Amino acid sequence: MTTWMNRFSLVVRSSITSLREKVEDPERMLHQLICDMEEELQTVKKAVAAAIADEIQLGKQVDAAKEESRKWQSRAETAIKRGDESSARSALEQQMRTEERAATLEKSYLKQKAQTEKLRSSFRDLEDKIQQARHKQTLLVARMANAESTQAINHAMDRANGQSAFAEFSRLEKKVERQEAMTQAYDVLDGRDLDADELDAEFEKEERREKLEKELEKLRQRLSDE
């Protein structure tokens, strides 16, 4: 995100510099400024579209994992009905694994969905600011055309810079950088040592085995009551 925001800011600053250096044709330069901003906006749009595509793909993976979990549950029930406890146990184990995978995928999906929404919001903000710049273009051209000196034109541009999209772009860039820094900070805080991970894995393995036995017993009990 920071990359395209930096590029966008660079285009804006470069265009303003060119405008000040070529004050003899402010209307053409303002038009070029907006064209440059719109070109960068299309680049941002592609990045947002890619994020949305990732979200869609993750959502499909979550649905597929949940469907697979239901399939193994059904197979376990069928095996119990025909008295094949070994197959039922294996099917339940597969069901538990796919259920865990679905839960992990769903966490990733929700995280991606939140990130996509932030990107969409930033994109909408950029669109709004560029639209404002278009509306102000005629007014800015008139103000610069009436300026009698380079100093007057620079003063008009400084005021325009404070009122149009540029200040907002800088604010958005700082906000994005702050969010990235916070994300990195949480990643550091969430780190664990290797020994703790191995011990945790052992406990999870034992808990999974106990859960499997409990689920198998529940399945036996439910089917015997039918």
pLDDT in tens, 89-124: 999 999 999 999 999 999 999 999 999 999 898 888
What is the C-alpha separation between 148 and 69, in angstroms, rounded?
Answer: 75
For residue 200, the model assigns a pLDDT of 72
For residue 189, the model assigns a pLDDT of 62
In order of 18, 142, 164, 184, the CA distances from 137 in angstroms are: 16, 9, 10, 40
**Average pLDDT of the residues in 9-30:** 60
For residue 7, the model assigns a pLDDT of 55
Task: Please report the DSSP string for 165-209 in residue order.
Answer: HHHHHHHHHHHHHHHHHHHHHHHHHT---HHHHHHHHHHHHHHHH
What is the C-alpha separation between 140 and 26, in angstroms, rounded?
Answer: 9
**Average pLDDT of the residues in 2-29:** 57
For residue 28, the model assigns a pLDDT of 81
Least-confidence region, from 169-173, 193-197, 221-225: 193-197
For residue 40, the model assigns a pLDDT of 84
Residue, of 204 and 68, whose pLDDT is higher: 68
Domain residue ranges of the chain, discontinuous segments joined by +? 2-191
> Is residue 76 within 8 Å of 40, Cβ to Cβ?
no
For residue 36, the model assigns a pLDDT of 86
Backbone angles phi, psi at 23, to 5 degrees: -65, -15
Say whether pLDDT at 162 is over 60: no
For residue 204, the model assigns a pLDDT of 82
121-160 pLDDT, tens digit per residue, is 888 888 888 888 888 877 777 776 666 555 655 665 566 5
26-76 pLDDT, tens digit per residue, is 778 878 888 888 888 888 889 899 999 999 999 999 999 999 999 999 999
For residue 97, the model assigns a pLDDT of 93
pLDDT band of 193, cuts 50, 70, 90: very low
